[in-house]
Structure 1
Amino acid sequence: MEYQYPIDYHWSTDEIVDVIKFYETIETAYEKGIDRERLMLVYRRFKEIVPSKAEEKTLCSEFEEISGYSAYRVLKKAKDALAEEKIMMK
């Protein structure tokens, strides 16, 4: 995609890479679908970096604004799904 992911420049390089991986996982859920377990693993790492709900909401809103992909909707679907299910957004 041709946009910049919302990141915090106070994060370490590894943290930035992992947050970008989270955004890419959300994109994959819309474009091809992704295994629920893989999505939740990446999300758990994202939450280690961004433990604040307010900061998570801000970052995910910024991401949705620039990409059109809703992390909230993907995560809600994943939380409601069975463990082995593939998450595919329409």
Structure 2
Amino acid sequence: MNNYSYPIFPDWSKEELMDMMALYNAVESAYEDANGVNAEKVVKLYNRFREINPAKMEQKQIDRDFQNISDYSIYKTFQAATKAKTKNIRM
């Protein structure tokens, strides 16, 4: 796993920060791990992401920032997870 400087907002609580890190790591796994990542986990983490960042503009900004840093899309990974026919998804 690469060490990226993840998009982080100072107003996130410690719990929100941990949840966001879990999402970033899950997206990374979808792209990097041979077995991919559990699709259900991605959907749950993405829904939590939307709770933490209810504004669509904020969600898009975070996804853009994350994509600029890692080349991985949070939203595209979520879309793949919602359409998954298998337990795990791989990007």
Task: Determine if the TM-score, normalized by the shorter chain, exceeds 0.5.
Answer: yes
Question: Which structure 1 residue ranges, 4+ long, deviate > 2 Å from structure 2?
Answer: none
Q: Structure 2: which 5+ runs fail to align?
A: none
Letter in 1 for 2:18: V
Question: Residues 3-82 of structure 1 correspond to what in structure 2 (within 5 A)?
Answer: 3-32=4-33, 33-82=36-85
1: distance between equivalents of 2:21 and 2:74?
13
Q: Structure 1: which 5+ runs fail to align?
A: none
Letter in 1 for 2:69: I
RMSD: 1.3
2: distance between equivalents of 1:21 and 1:86?
16
2: distance between equivalents of 1:9 and 1:50?
12
Letter in 2 for 1:48: E
Shift of 1:63: 0.3
Identity of aligned residues (%): 39
1:88 to 2:79 alignment: no
Q: Under a length normalisation based on structure 2, what TM-score does the superposition of the two structures give?
A: 0.87
